[in-house]
Structure 1
Amino acid sequence: MKKMLSSLGSLVAMLLSVSLLTACGAAGSNAPGGGEADSVKVGVLAPLTGANAEFGKGFEVAMTMAMEEVNAAGGINGKTLELVFQDSKGDAKESSDLCRQYVDNEDIVAVLGDFTSTACMADAPIVKEAEMAILSPTASNPAFTEMNDCTFGIIGKQDADSRYYAHYVLQEYAGVDNVGIIYIESDWGNAAMSNFVDEAGKIGLNIVEMASFVQDEKDFSSIITKMKAANPDHIAIMDQGATSQIINQIRTSGWDVSLSTNGPGTSQQLIDLCGENCEGLLLTTPFFFDPENEKEMAWRDEFTERAGFAPTVHSVNAYDCALLISEAIRQCGDDITRENVRDKLAAIDFSGGLTGQIKFDETGSLDRRYIICEIVDGEYVKRAGFDYPEQVAAGK
């Protein structure tokens, strides 16, 4: 059972944010309250600028694709779906200010986003005041969905991800004995680190050094020096936005230690920014495009053409979230209220997207499984499938 725990931004700030965003087509809007009376409006919070802009842009492109599909198929109960995009910049305060704008706008029936767990956790008490659902494609700190009965996330739980990372990626697949951890100081980063450390203790994976950094940090030389002195045979990087900088600075320091990451998923931007420096990088993802699946590959090609970069699991989840909230609204019939949308979302059983069945547990989260990927010759290659834990147990 979920825990029942339960300022508007200035007009100038709102107008500036509206003017800076590009239009998302006739059915979309970039300002609360925009659009026609026969539309159903859902607010979106995403880091369209800043360190996590690749992921925010992925949200925008993927959700717009979903919105266009819904509307092309007749909309929702005779109404068009309208997504209202706002730039949170990856900042928790900015996100909560924009979330407050959505709450105060009676036309908004639900919120999609934000990207980081920290931002989502700042938004959770605000949506609870209005009994309005917030559905994040990417927030994986389990504390987020446990905050109240309005919080939902589809990427899975960070505790399961981090434990899989320590056990199956590093110990079983890579054969790591001694690891150094570099992680971001955030709600997500602290959860990733603590669950990794806990699992490492249980399986006998030796952590020789740990170091944290704050968002927007640029110089990692002192952390790298500290790690080198501990002499690990592997470095685990837990972050989304600074991973490429850390990798590049490790390699330019002359250190050829093996690397893995938990956070950015199969990001094309990571490969573009790191080049040969990220060859051999290991990572996990709960979704990987199957070259034999025509639907998945067609979606991937369209997204890439629109965005200018290939999608990650974060973009795929964003697409599924837009379809998911549309289905919850459709199930409301003529009684489309915030509370009703929230209740329909909590009870939903949905398989109409790309990531498989979505059926929330009592905390508003999902159990996901993971595959292992490696960067080889500038491309992501699947190294172990969803059944890898069973293979390990069977001694294969």
Structure 2
Amino acid sequence: MKKLCALLCVLMMLSMALFANGNKEEEAAKAEGFKGIIKIGVLGPLTGTNAEYGVGFKIGTQMAADRINAAGGANGYKLILVPKDSKGDPKESSDLTRQFCDDSDIMAIIGDFTSGCSMANAPIVDDAKIVQLSPTASNPKYAGMSDYCFSIMGRQDGEAPFFAKYIISKYMGVKKIGLIYINSDWGVSAADNFRKAANEAGVEIVTEVNYVQDEKDFSSLITKLKAANPEALIIMDQGAVAQVINQVRAMGWDVPLTTLGPGTSEQLIGLTGANSEGLILSTPFFFDPQVPELMAWKTEFNDKAKFNPTVHPACAFDCVNLIAQAINSCGDTVTRQGIRDNLARNEYTGITGPIKFNKDGDITRAYLICQVENGQYVVKKGFDYSAE
């Protein structure tokens, strides 16, 4: 009984401390001229294999919040972001999502990075009736799982077929491909959609292998792939692509390499060096040197992150602006439901392009073909390539 009473006292003191801190934030915001504060939860893998992308989320979202607050806030409210480390683990992500849902100050959630984490959270946000807007989840099943689930990356039933039909078959002229992919919700979806499109394009997958999250040694899988003698190898993942590339080259295999997942990640080039020379990939967005606004954004991000951005933090940046636009449309009373309803019907043009949600809550993207040349990414074909 004494232990229980002590525990209750600790919890009560913690709650009072959190309440007092919340009041201080509210009072400070009002002193700055805001109506008050609105908090947004941010979920991403700040540690682990995909930490580059989670850190990118954290920095990209804060860049957006800083700009919005400097311009007077969202509907007069100061936006405060609450970032949490999901570690790329669905269970961890779900536990953090429940915490956000139980906190009445959290009005929306941005994240998570992977489709697996976002899908694990879908029934939780559905019960709580709070938006989960993922910058990057691309499993076609994700957004349709709940009226409160949204994503702006585009879907794997769009990108994977583009990869098979236009990058592998048309651009590279390859008819026999080897496939290695991560065995996750995202990886399985990407592989499934790629297989179907490859078959339609007359591309034979001569062999395929998969691996689990945090795998380190790919030698036996690479040996199997090499024995099938494919004309090129496609890697479907985000975090382990660099390790796979390095181990392929360490085994003396000079097969042409392609990858679906990491976008134009500068860290990928940094981790692979000359091993990634010639690497071909798809991306829905590229920092065009001819657009000063994009270059300024890239420079600001790099100054804060100490690495160059991919499409992923750019999408995270756009997500905050989408939520802010939805808050602006709420009028005098900002609610979780109001944010959801306005988000679903509003249109927005961000740094990653035009965003208009379909009935499922995700969007259709067009894709560029990029290649690593002399240690940097260059655009080889534009958004209109599939229409040629």
SS at match of 2:142: helix
Q: CA deviation at 1:34?
A: 8.5
1: CA distance, partners of 2:332 / 2:105:
15
Does residue 270 of structure 1 match 2:259?
A: no
Structure 1 residues 214-249: Cα deviation after superposition (integer angstroms, max 9, x where no partner)? 000000000011011111010000000000000000
The equivalent position to 1:222 in structure 2, one of 220, 223, 237, is 220
Aligned to 1:362: 359
Aligned to 2:26: 36
Structure 1 residues 365-395: Cα deviation after superposition (integer angstroms, max 9, x where no partner)? 101000000000110000000010122xxxx
Aligned to 2:383: 386
The equivalent position to 2:154 in structure 1, one of 138, 153, 156, is 156
Letter in 2 for 1:387: D
- How many residues are paired up? 363
The equivalent position to 1:252 in structure 2, one of 250, 253, 260, is 250
Structure 1 residues 91-146: Cα deviation after superposition (integer angstroms, max 9, x where no partner)? 00000000000000001111000000000001111011111110000000010001
1: CA distance, partners of 2:89 / 2:271:
23
Of the structure 1 ranges 271-280 and 287-296, higher mean CA displacement relative to structure 2 is found in 287-296
Q: CA deviation at 1:33?
A: 9.3
Letter in 2 for 1:70: I
Q: CA deviation at 1:90?
A: 0.5
Q: How does 1:205-220 map onto structure 2 within 5 Å?
A: 205-220=203-218
Structure 1 residues 334-380: Cα deviation after superposition (integer angstroms, max 9, x where no partner)? 211111111111111112x2012111000001010000000001100
Q: CA deviation at 1:289?
A: 1.1
TM, length-normalised to structure 1? 0.90
Gaps spanning 5+ residues in structure 1: where? Answer: 1-10, 12-30, 392-396
2: CA distance, partners of 1:222 / 1:33:
57
2: CA distance, partners of 1:357 / 1:278:
31
Aligned to 1:318: 316
Letter in 1 for 2:86: S
The equivalent position to 2:202 in structure 1, one of 198, 201, 204, is 204
1: CA distance, partners of 2:318 / 2:22:
22
Runs of 4+ with >4 A deviation: 31-34
TM, length-normalised to structure 2? 0.92
Gaps spanning 5+ residues in structure 2: where? Answer: 1-7, 9-20, 28-35
Letter in 1 for 2:234: A
2: CA distance, partners of 1:253 / 1:57:
32
Aligned to 1:22: none
The equivalent position to 2:184 in structure 1, one of 186, 198, 202, is 186
The equivalent position to 1:69 in structure 2, one of 44, 49, 67, is 67
Does residue 377 of structure 1 match 2:367?
A: no
2: CA distance, partners of 1:269 / 1:34:
39
Does residue 329 of structure 1 match 2:319?
A: no
Contact 1:35 1:82 in 2 (8 A): no
Letter in 2 for 1:290: D
Aligned to 1:8: none
SS at match of 2:348: coil
The equivalent position to 1:84 in structure 2, one of 82, 85, 94, is 82
Greater CA radius of gyration, 1 or 2?
Answer: 2
Letter in 2 for 1:305: D
Structure 1 residues 55-82: Cα deviation after superposition (integer angstroms, max 9, x where no partner)? 0010011111000000000001221011
Q: How does 1:48-59 map onto structure 2 within 5 Å?
A: 48-59=46-57
2: CA distance, partners of 1:162 / 1:69:
35
Instruction: Indicate the structure with greater helix content.
Output: 2
Aligned to 2:110: 112
Letter in 1 for 2:153: I
**Percent identity among equivalent residues?**
53
Contact 1:33 1:105 in 2 (8 A): no
2: CA distance, partners of 1:232 / 1:100:
46
Letter in 1 for 2:183: E
SS at match of 2:25: coil
Letter in 2 for 1:309: F
Aligned to 1:195: 193
2: CA distance, partners of 1:85 / 1:361:
28
Aligned to 1:19: none
Q: CA deviation at 1:32?
A: 9.1
Letter in 2 for 1:36: E
Contact 1:349 1:359 in 2 (8 A): yes
